[in-house]
Amino acid sequence: MSKFAVLGHGVVGSGTVELFLKNRELINSRQGTDLELGYILDIREFPGLSYSDKFTKDINDILNDDEVTVVAEVMGGVNPAFDFVLSCLNRGKSVCTSNKELVAKKGAELIAAAKAHNCSFLFEASTGGAIPIIHPMYTSLAGNEITAVCGILNGTTNYILTQMIENGTPFDKALSEAQAKGYAEKDPTADIEGHDANRKICILSSLAFGRHVYPDWVHCEGISNITAEDAAYAKSNGYAVKLIGSVKKLPDGKILPMVAPRFVPLSCQLAFVSDVFNGIMVYGNGFDEVMMYGKGAGKLPTASAVLGDIIECAKADGTILSCTWEDSADNSFIADHKDDTVRMYVRCSGSSTQDIEAAFGSVDFIKADGINGETAFITAAMPEKDIDAALEGLCSRVINTIRLLG
Amino acid sequence: MSKFAVLGHGVVGSGTVELFLKNRELINSRQGTDLELGYILDIREFPGLSYSDKFTKDINDILNDDEVTVVAEVMGGVNPAFDFVLSCLNRGKSVCTSNKELVAKKGAELIAAAKAHNCSFLFEASTGGAIPIIHPMYTSLAGNEITAVCGILNGTTNYILTQMIENGTPFDKALSEAQAKGYAEKDPTADIEGHDANRKICILSSLAFGRHVYPDWVHCEGISNITAEDAAYAKSNGYAVKLIGSVKKLPDGKILPMVAPRFVPLSCQLAFVSDVFNGIMVYGNGFDEVMMYGKGAGKLPTASAVLGDIIECAKADGTILSCTWEDSADNSFIADHKDDTVRMYVRCSGSSTQDIEAAFGSVDFIKADGINGETAFITAAMPEKDIDAALEGLCSRVINTIRLLG
């Protein structure tokens, strides 16, 4: 028998227990496992549950029980989660986590601890909720060199942007709707400023390129300056607007991770990922491109990913290899996004089309119904720093700029 | 060192070797493997290749070399592939295959042979080409009861249908274009009559529900009776037309696998899977829904899936559990599609709207530009046999019928 423990009985923790108890027989018969729930760690009391006898307030009950071979950490936050996880790994117990902050900030250290103690540290649920993305990257796609990853990694902002583009809803109203539906928190900063997507692109970047990318090293922009007018320009000209977490390998070997809103052309599958759904596109030198799509958050969807990892650990004997990356001493392998070549959507006023073409060369001028007194255009592909310089030289009032994807 | 052998040096076999040689160092360093190409079995001569010394015409060279632990079968067809694969498994060598016909017809037997000899039989490449779908179903999604799978499993027909709906191209012309581009074979029967999709939905059904589903047991319709008019009705009324392989579990415990063209509403992500791409939607009681999208065919995309399985086998010690199902003595667990409840698109002539509503109750009448002299409508959800009976009673000329998805 393999017993597993769950650290934290919040939304994801209670979902993990619920899903396991619902599907236990099917799992154990189909997967060849003999999994049982051993403990749930929480400082709160949960009387009256069918599994109330499993609760403990003392991590040592879990650490000292040799029958516990797998621990799911679903508490969130770095402390005390990090200490608990490290203690489990140091005892040779595999750990699965949904905690993106923990993985983004401490992943390399915890992976190393797992290897040192012949156990595994898995985190499918940390990125993309229910969507299989971490596991396919180190298994099914393992024969490839990954060249780029880009995705809609945050459901809250995708809901807001979907309302803005489909219904012309202004940003503030779309945010209020998201809060009313429980998709956004009272303090929505982590979502709308891109911090949540940042942690996830750090995890995907580290996995794809083998070196830990820390959140502070990633250029990160949110969506709070996107207006209904920007959404109208996008919709009228064959684009969606999405908050995209992306990373790509450049010819000089550096990588460029970034979080920023993008105009996404309808030729890209991500343009059709709407509402609270997430979609993650991966590019590689054999498979070309694949996209994984599904629910990026929620009780049972996230629990599904945690439980998949628990089963994987229970079936494995020793460290699950290659869910792995090395720590990075510095960020010298991260490129400056200002050196990257992009196409840019620009809205400005006070400049003639002649002025604009003098500054940028040939551009695509675009229009949207009911928006007057300004000029909008999309530049050719050029280094971002050259776009900055051209905008500077134009001396007009720049209302907004948004990068195109691809 | 793990040596692997490749049976067949056609498109997929040469792609597998090419991708491995290109990425060998990256694979072995990131995956902790020590993989080397041991043999390629082919009756033809391939002089002048950098790896010409690896060829053999004798399967015994592979069977008798104990250093060969993994064999990739990429010959296609049941014979002699089945004998070769079984011989390898009986010697304890794991086998990975791209051969959907072999898996659909002999999967249960080969899985049992792998288990008996403590090795693995994997087939990620048999369904969805490069798309990770088999592997996620038995790993990341393993904590769920799978309730349904539906997908665009054949790129050739998806290319044809995309041309018909986007450009109004007639079927025959779209097929010719697909042949000219190399997407369709000279004899396109296996694709356009749904036989290829049938094999793939058999594999996915068997994996999802644990019992072997044989192709003869699946109701299978192709796309050759879809016209440009049908595509016009779909487009004008918010649908795509797709050839869908589907399976779902019914309340009585039976399953219903089927291959048929469908009107797919734009609320379903599969509506946006165009051209030669494949997309597979999976439904489960925890994750809700996920979709995997990518290239369903092609040299390197298919090789990517084969190579992922080779690496998986090289990393595993013994049988990889739960890529597994039991053989089925009979088809008593397969439901009759005529008992299933569907919405149906119907085109007919010679009946008034009153006649139609008398026969079907309330329906949605639909129109398409430039099509006159007939009536088109979409029924409410009702048992398919009742739709048949109502059409019979209507005594009008039925031009075409296509089921809706969902």
The domain spanning residue A286 has which CATH number? 3.30.360.10
At residue A321, the pLDDT reads: 62
Catalytic residue among B3, B200, B242, B248: B200
At residue A396, the pLDDT reads: 82
The domain spanning residue B361 has which CATH number? 3.30.70.1150
CA–CA separation, B101 and B200 (whole Å): 8
Model confidence pLDDT, tens digit, residues A188-228: 999 999 999 999 999 999 999 999 999 999 999 999 999 99
Total number of domains in chain B: 3
**A152 to chain B: which residues are within 8 Å by CB?**
none
**B132 to chain A: which residues are within 8 Å by CB?**
132, 136, 139-141, 290, 292
Find the domain containing A349 and state its range.
340-404
CB-CB under 8 Å, B26 with A290: no
- Residue A249 in contact with partner chain B when CB distance is under 8 A: no
Distance in Å, alpha carbon of A262 to nearest chain B alpha carbon = 20
- Residue A288 in contact with partner chain B when CB distance is under 8 A: yes
**Residues B130, B186: contact at Cβ < 8 Å?**
no
B281 → chain A, closest CA residue:
A293
Residues A64 and A143 in one domain: no
pTM for this entry:
0.96
Instruction: Report whether pLDDT(B95) > 90.
Output: yes
At residue B40, the pLDDT reads: 98
Residues A146 and A77 in one domain: no
**A132 to chain B: which residues are within 8 Å by CB?**
132, 136, 139-141, 290, 292
Flag whether A322 is in a domain.
no
Residues A276 and A351 in one domain: no
Burial of B94 (0-12, 13-18, 19+ CB in 10 A): buried
A308 → chain B, closest CA residue:
B140
Show the DSSP H helices in A210-334 as ranges. 228-236, 299-315
Model confidence pLDDT, tens digit, residues A39-53: 999 999 999 999 999
B182-197 average pLDDT score? 95
A364-373 average pLDDT score? 95
**A273 to chain B: which residues are within 8 Å by CB?**
269
A309 → chain B, closest CA residue:
B140
- Residue B291 in contact with partner chain A when CB distance is under 8 A: yes
CB-CB under 8 Å, A286 with B303: yes
Distances, alpha carbon A137 to alpha carbons A132, A249, A363, B343, in Å: 9, 16, 38, 38
* Annotated catalytic residue B200: yes
Enclosing H/E stretch for B219: strand B219-220
At residue B12, the pLDDT reads: 96
CA–CA separation, A353 and A355 (whole Å): 5
- Residue A135 in contact with partner chain B when CB distance is under 8 A: yes
Model confidence pLDDT, tens digit, residues A157-181: 999 999 999 999 999 999 999 999 9
Flag whether B393 is in a domain.
yes
The average confidence (pLDDT) of chain A is: 95
| Residue among A108, A1, A88, A13 nearest A54 (CA) | A13
Model confidence pLDDT, tens digit, residues B323-342: 779 898 899 999 999 999 99
CB-CB under 8 Å, B303 with A131: no
At residue A31, the pLDDT reads: 87
Tokens for A286? 């054999």
Q: Residue A88's CB: how many other CB atoms inside 10 A?
A: 27
- pLDDT-based confidence at B32, cuts 50/70/90? confident
CB-CB under 8 Å, A31 with B142: yes
Flag whether A324 is in a domain.
no
At residue B31, the pLDDT reads: 87
Flag whether B242 is in a domain.
yes
The average confidence (pLDDT) of chain B is: 95
Instruction: Report whether pLDDT(B285) > 80.
Output: yes
**Residues B112, B325: contact at Cβ < 8 Å?**
no
Model confidence pLDDT, tens digit, residues A288-335: 999 999 999 999 999 999 999 999 999 887 777 667 898 988 999 999
Three-state SS at A386:
helix
At residue B316, the pLDDT reads: 85
Enclosing H/E stretch for B378: strand B375-378
At residue B324, the pLDDT reads: 79
Burial of B60 (0-12, 13-18, 19+ CB in 10 A): exposed
At residue B318, the pLDDT reads: 72
Residues B117 and B80 in one domain: yes
Residues B349 and B262 in one domain: no
At residue A272, the pLDDT reads: 97
The domain spanning residue B88 has which CATH number? 3.40.50.720
- Residue B21 in contact with partner chain A when CB distance is under 8 A: no
Residues B104 and B78 in one domain: yes
Residues B289 and B143 in one domain: yes
Residues B91 and B8 in one domain: yes
Chain A with chain B: Cβ pairs closer than 8 A = 200
Interface test with chain A among B21, B287, B289, by most A beta carbons within 10 Å: B287
B225-230 average pLDDT score? 96
**Residues B126, B99: contact at Cβ < 8 Å?**
yes
Instruction: Report whether pLDDT(B388) > 80.
Output: yes
Model confidence pLDDT, tens digit, residues B96-132: 999 999 999 999 999 999 999 999 999 999 999 999 9
- A residues 375-394 closer than 8 Å to B (CB): none
At residue B2, the pLDDT reads: 86
Task: Write down the number of H helices and E strands in chain A.
Answer: 13, 18
B220-237 average pLDDT score? 97
CA–CA separation, A175 and A196 (whole Å): 16
Residues A210 and A107 in one domain: no
Which member of B131, B287, B322 has the closest CB to residue A31? B322
A2-14 average pLDDT score? 96
CB-CB under 8 Å, A32 with B142: no
Distance in Å, alpha carbon of A309 to nearest chain B alpha carbon = 7
Interface test with chain B among A24, A139, A207, A311, by most B beta carbons within 10 Å: A139
Question: Which residues make beta-bridge pairs with A277?
Answer: A295
Domain boundary among B258, B284, B315: B315
For chain B, how long is the longest CA-to-CA vector?
Answer: 76
- Residue B260 in contact with partner chain A when CB distance is under 8 A: no
- Identify the residue whose tokens are 């040689």: B21
CA–CA separation, A405 and A150 (whole Å): 9
- pLDDT-based confidence at B322, cuts 50/70/90? low
A366-385 average pLDDT score? 96
**Residues B262, B234: contact at Cβ < 8 Å?**
no
- B residues 61-120 closer than 8 Å to A (CB): none
* DSSP E strands, B42-189: 55-56, 68-73, 94-97, 121-122, 146-152
Tokens for A14? 């209670």
CB-CB under 8 Å, B301 with A286: yes
CA–CA separation, A174 and A282 (whole Å): 29
Burial of B52 (0-12, 13-18, 19+ CB in 10 A): exposed
Flag whether B332 is in a domain.
no
Enclosing H/E stretch for B137: helix B134-138
Distances, alpha carbon A122 to alpha carbons A174, B190, B282, B300, in Å: 35, 41, 23, 29
Model confidence pLDDT, tens digit, residues A72-127: 999 999 999 999 999 999 999 999 999 999 999 999 999 999 999 999 999 999 99
Instruction: Report whether pLDDT(A137) > 90.
Output: yes
Residues A184 and A94 in one domain: no
Flag whether A326 is in a domain.
no
Taking phi over 0 as left and psi of -120 to 50 as alpha, with beta for the rest, A352 belongs to beta
Interface test with chain B among A70, A207, A287, A307, by most B beta carbons within 10 Å: A287
CB-CB under 8 Å, A304 with B144: yes
CA–CA separation, B117 and B60 (whole Å): 18
- Residue A253 in contact with partner chain B when CB distance is under 8 A: no
Distance in Å, alpha carbon of B56 to nearest chain A alpha carbon = 24
Distance in Å, alpha carbon of A239 to nearest chain B alpha carbon = 15
**Residues A271, B265: contact at Cβ < 8 Å?**
no
- Residue B155 in contact with partner chain A when CB distance is under 8 A: no
Flag whether B367 is in a domain.
yes
Residues B100 and B146 in one domain: no
CB-CB under 8 Å, A305 with B295: no
Tokens for B362? 């309330």
Residues A97 and A153 in one domain: no
Sign, CA dihedral A103-B321-B127-B235, equals: negative
Catalytic residue among A3, A93, A105, A200: A200
Flag whether A390 is in a domain.
yes
Instruction: Report whether pLDDT(B320) > 80.
Output: no
At residue A93, the pLDDT reads: 96
Q: Quick one: angle between helices B81-90 and B100-116, nearest 10? A: 20
**A19 to chain B: which residues are within 8 Å by CB?**
143-144, 285-286
Write phi, then psi, for B232 (nearest 5 degrees).
-65, -45
